[in-house]
Amino acid sequence: MEKPSRIAPAKGKLGILLPGMGAVSTTFMAGVELVRKGKARPVGSLTQLGTIRLGKRTDGRTPKIGEFVPLAELKDIVFGGWDIFNDNAYQSAANAGVLNLQDLAKVKGFLSQIKPMKAAFDHNFVKLIDGPNIKKGKNKYEWALEIKDDIAKFRKSSRATRLVTCWCGSTESFLKPSEVHSTPEKFVAAMKKNHPAIAPSMLYAWASVTSGVPYANGAPNLSVDIPAIQKLAHDNNVAIAGKDFKTGQTLMKTVLAPAFKARMLGLEGWFSTNILGNRDGEVLEDPGSFKSKEQSKLGALEYILQPELYPELYSKMYHKVRINYYPPRGDNKEGWDNIDIFGWLGYPMQIKVDFLCRDSILAAPIVLDLVLFLDLAQRAGMRGIQEWLSFYFKSPMTAPGLYPEHDLFIQSMKLKNTLRWMMGEDLITHLGQEYYD
C-alpha cells in the first residue's frame, strides 16, 4: 500500500457514536469532559500523553504523538449513543459506579444531556438483560435502516463534520461466521428475513460502514469481523478495527508471555480467573456471552508462544480462563493468574499475578485513542481493517490468512511505525549499527 499522499485536516467537530452507554462509555465521556475542563488528566491515553521518537537516537526529536499527527482535539468532540435503557449518561454513570459522585457532580449537566437513542436489540444475543428503549421495526433490516437514520440525524444536529462509531455494548452470544455473513448481498437478504445469525452489533456495523462512518468493536462478538461488512468497508472507503478492548488480564498476558518466549522459558500451565460485579460481569454469566469472551481471551497465548515452533517448551501448556460474577466488586475486577513455568533442565517455577484493576478506567482511554486514530486513518484514506490498532485489542482483526500479532511490544512498534510511515518519516528498525561505524 502506498503511503497516504495527503491527510485531510481535522477541521470541525468529531462526533463519537457509542452503541451501548454503560460503564465504559460513560467513564469515557465523563473523562473527556473532565479533561477538557482541566479537572483531570488523560492517564492511559497514548494520543494525549505519548511521544514518538523520530530519526536517530542522537537526533533528539521526540514530539508528542498529538503534535506529530493531525488528530482531532478533545474540544471538538461531541457524543451520541444508543442503549436499551432510558437512562441518560449521568444516570448510567451513577448506576455503573465507576467514578465517584464528586467527579460525576463536576460533569452532571454535560452528561445529563446525552440521552440514548432507541437500541436495536435481540434478547437471544444478550440473555440476562432487558430494557424498554428499543426499536420496533418489523425486521432487522428495518432496524439497520433506522440506525442509518439516527446517524444522519445526529450528524446534522451535532454539526459534526466527521463521525466514528465504537461498539461499547454488551458482549453478545458466541457466533461463528457463516454463509449469511459472506457477502453484502447475502447479509442484506438475511437481515430482511430476520435470520438468527444476524446479531444487533452487526446492524450498527452495517449502518455505520454504509454511512461512511469508521467503526471500532470493543467487544468480542463478531460485529464488524465478517466478510460482508469488511467488503463494504473496502468499497465505501471506511476504516474498521476490532475486536475486544485489551485492558487488564490480557494486557498482562501479552506482556509476560513474550518475555518467556524471548528467554526460551517453558510454560506448563496458565490459570486465569476473574471476579467482577458490574453489568458486563452479569451478562457474562450467560454461557453464550461467556464463550465469546473465553475464545477472545484464549487466543493470545497460542499465537505468542507458537507451540508448533517450540514443542518442547509450549506444546503441553494448559490454559484456562474463568470469569465469575461477584456483585460486591462492582467494576473493580480482580484478575488472578497462576503461571507455571519451567527453566534450565526443566526445573519448575511459579509466578502469581493479582491485578486489582478497574475495568472501565482501563478501557476509557482505549476508546479515546481508537476513535481519534480511526478518524485519522479515515482522513488519510486508509480503508478496511486497521491492523496497526491491534495494540488495543484482545483478538486483533487481520487480513484473511494472516495470523494476528498479540505481543504488546510488536503491536506498539507496529502502531508507531505506521504513524511514521503516514507522515513520511523513516521507520525505526532498532538495528543501530550506524552508531558504531
Decide: is 24 part of the binding site for ligand NAD (CB under 6 A).
yes
Decide: is 154 part of the binding site for ligand NAD (CB under 6 A).
no
- How is residue 123 written as a grid cell? 434478547
Residue 266 or 277 having the CB closest to ligand NAD:
277
Residue 297 or 379 having the CB closest to ligand NAD:
297
- How is residue 366 written as a grid cell? 482505549
Using Cβ positions, the residue closest to ligand NAD within the complex turns out to be 22
Residue among 28, 79, 82, 141 that touches ligand NAD (CB under 6 A)? 82
Residues 6+ positions from 397 with CB-CB distance below 8 Å: 224, 225, 240, 241, 242, 243, 385, 387, 404
Residue 48 or 92 having the CB closest to ligand NAD:
92
Please give the Cα distance from 298 to 406 (Å, whole number). 11
Decide: is 33 part of the binding site for ligand NAD (CB under 6 A).
no
Please give the Cα distance from 157 to 17 (Å, whole number). 13
Using the rule CB under 6 A, give the single segment among 174-182, 272-280, 346-354, 379-387 that binds ligand NAD: 272-280
What residues between 377 and 406 interact with ligand NAD by CB under 6 A? none
Q: C-beta of 326: minimal distance to ligand NAD in Å?
A: 15
Residues 6+ positions from 259 with CB-CB distance below 8 Å: none
Q: C-beta of 103: minimal distance to ligand NAD in Å?
A: 17
Residue 3 or 153 having the CB closest to ligand NAD:
153
Residue 171 or 210 having the CB closest to ligand NAD:
171
Residues 6+ positions from 124 with CB-CB distance below 8 Å: 173, 196
Q: C-beta of 22: minimal distance to ligand NAD in Å?
A: 2
Q: How far is CA 418 from CA 4, 61, 171, 388, in A?
A: 11, 17, 30, 7
What residues between 231 and 260 interact with ligand NAD by CB under 6 A? 244-245, 247
Q: C-beta of 370: minimal distance to ligand NAD in Å?
A: 12
Decide: is 288 part of the binding site for ligand NAD (CB under 6 A).
no
Phi-psi region of 214 (alpha: psi -120 to 50; beta: other; left: phi over 0): beta
Q: How far is CA 360 from CA 89, 332, 348, 366, in A?
A: 15, 9, 36, 10
Q: C-beta of 98: minimal distance to ligand NAD in Å?
A: 9
Residue among 84, 313, 323, 413 that touches ligand NAD (CB under 6 A)? 84
Residue among 119, 222, 239, 374 that touches ligand NAD (CB under 6 A)? 119
Please give the Cα distance from 341 to 257 (Å, whole number). 10
- How is residue 358 written as a grid cell? 478497574
Q: Partners of 321 in the beta sheet?
A: 272
Residue 171 or 411 having the CB closest to ligand NAD:
171
What residues between 208 and 227 interact with ligand NAD by CB under 6 A? 218-219
Using the rule CB under 6 A, give the single segment among 107-115, 226-234, 342-350, 355-363 that binds ligand NAD: 355-363
Residue among 33, 294, 337, 359 that touches ligand NAD (CB under 6 A)? 359
Binding mask 165-194 for ligand NAD (x = CB under 6 A): ---xxxx-----------------------
Residue among 28, 85, 90, 110 that touches ligand NAD (CB under 6 A)? 85
Residue among 74, 96, 104, 367 that touches ligand NAD (CB under 6 A)? 96
Q: C-beta of 80: minimal distance to ligand NAD in Å?
A: 12
Do 84 and 130 meet the contact criterion of CB atoms below 8 Å apart? yes
Please give the Cα distance from 105 to 23 (Å, whole number). 16
Residue 171 or 272 having the CB closest to ligand NAD:
171
Do 396 and 390 meet the contact criterion of CB atoms below 8 Å apart? yes
Decide: is 202 part of the binding site for ligand NAD (CB under 6 A).
no
- Interface residues with ligand NAD (CB under 6 A)? 19-25, 82-85, 96, 119-121, 126, 129, 131, 168-171, 200, 218-219, 244-245, 247, 278-280, 283, 359-360, 362-363
